[in-house]
Chains A and B, each alone.
Chain A
Amino acid sequence: MPMINGEFRPKIVAFCCNWCSYGGADLAGSSRLSYPADVKIIRVPCSGRVNPMFILRAFERGADGVIICGCHPGDCHYSTGNYYARRRMTLLFSMLEYIGIENGRTRVEWVSAAEGVKFQATMNEFVEKVKSLGENVRLGDLRCKD
């Protein structure tokens, strides 16, 4: 378990939409709103770009939690990308829960470029949640191999 100063620090992957949440993260930064450094942001052109495989891959590579941030429904830069993402993620999260991955490790949040405060609050909350769940040891070894 990765510990820093005796405290568990989870690895969080955040997929952020270029047009909103990425800007939201920027705003949080320039407004000096601090959120844990455990969050690693990956910029995607749209939340609809997030292939369910990205999430599985993140977990397999040792992520303890994955969060997807996109534009509020109705505000998608490409009109409808986040609507499709919403359905896909709902089904994927349900499937992950079904195979035994706690649902606290996955989350979707709609954050606009003006919501630096929401970005900060979401990340703080999500990191705390994943911290309480501890290290993700499951998806790395779905099969009894290696």
Chain B
Amino acid sequence: MQGLIDRLKALLADGTVARVIGWKKGDMSYNPTPAIFNSVEDLDEFVYDGFCGANLSKMMIDATKLEGKTAVLLKPCDSYSFNQLIREHRVNRDNAYIIGIACRGKLDIERAKATGIKGITEVTGTEHDGADTVTFKTLYGDKEVAYNEIMLGRCYMCKGKEHVIADEVIGESKDTAVVDRFAQVAEIEAMSSAEKFEFFKKELSKCIRCNACRNVCPCCSCRKCVFDSTKFDSQQKANVDSFEEKMFHIIRAFHVAGRCTDCGECSRVCPQGIPLHLFNKKFIKDIDTFYGEFQAGKDPEAQSPLTAFTFEDVEPKIVSERSKG
């Protein structure tokens, strides 16, 4: 990590960039928060470890409107989101300096806590070049857990460790994919209608409409969202009627269909642990089957499947025919 900090300091010192978007220490050692560093001194607080799961590309929408270049640290999966933002003309590429950083999968503190770890005071071994085991210092003694046992769900179905866009890449990533990206979706598809409905009803009933999924999503970058009401201030974010409340996640998934890069941030930030990526993945899977393999954000020139068509497209009745056969 020291090499990375030195490089960032050099970039700030020689004026190549005016600011750096990265992570700084949080109040606990397992919750670093995204931060903007304006000077070399600020960088003393900089941190990059296994808990830096946040996708910083969305912060570039505002940052690239400022004067001077902004350096941003993007993991391989985040670089897809950045490409997609270029595609949608939401960021100014000329004002961005992209530093691709290595990733060996990111950690999920909830998964660690689920193994019975309580009263955490310090976590070590989470750095990129750290050990294969993570050590939790707790009020009840030390505990060790294998790094690859407590990663974020999305990292087990990682879509690749290659940066699709970067001005420079620092470090070497390690592959973490062990399961098929669409295994969970296929599992649900195999259920009966009643089971599917019960599953989603149970999950979606946990939603508290905090809008965290919407606010973190790099695709949800509309200045005015359909879910904002005309009311004043914080009331603006309250749902207008029960329809929105019930259908929020389906509508949102449809709005990002064909643009979602499958970064998995929605599921990561959900305070209620709703597997929201299941909606997005379903659309991606369908698009892949019906209209050919498409990875949003891979190519900033590619046209989204939902804003295009061919004369030979499948008819909607394929949905019922498929489930029969």
Contact = CB atoms under 8 A, between A and B. Distances in A.
A141 B317 contact: no
Interface string A24-55: 00000000000000000000000000001100
Contact of B315 (A108, A143, A145): A108
Contacts of A117: none
A91 B201 CA distance: 20
Interface stretch (A4-12, A15-23, A78-86): A78-86
A100 B316 contact: no
A87 B283 contact: no
B309 interface: yes
A92 to B, nearest CB: 7
B306 interface: yes
Interface residues of A, number: 39
Contacts, number: 118
Nearest to A53: B251
A107 B317 contact: yes
Contacts of B200: 99-100, 142
A138 interface: yes
B319 A99 contact: no
Nearest to B205: A144
Nearest to A86: B313
A60 B279 CA distance: 19
Contact of B242 (A84, A100, A144, A145): A145
B316 A99 contact: no
A142 B251 CA distance: 13
Nearest to B249: A142
B122 interface: no
Interface residues of B, number: 46
A106 B195 CA distance: 19
A38 B286 CA distance: 32
B246 interface: yes
A74 B311 contact: yes
A121 interface: no
Given A73-B311, A144-B205, A52 B254 contact: yes
B243 A60 contact: yes
Interface stretch (B52-60, B110-118, B157-165, B186-194): B186-194
A60 to B, nearest CB: 5
A57 interface: yes
Given A74-B311, A86-B316, A107-B316, A145 B188 contact: no
Q: Which 10 A-B pairs have the closest CB atoms?
A: A100-B197, A100-B196, A83-B309, A144-B205, A108-B316, A103-B320, A142-B246, A93-B319, A90-B316, A89-B316
Interface of A: 52-53, 56-57, 60, 73-74, 80, 83-84, 86-95, 97-104, 106-108, 138-139, 141-146
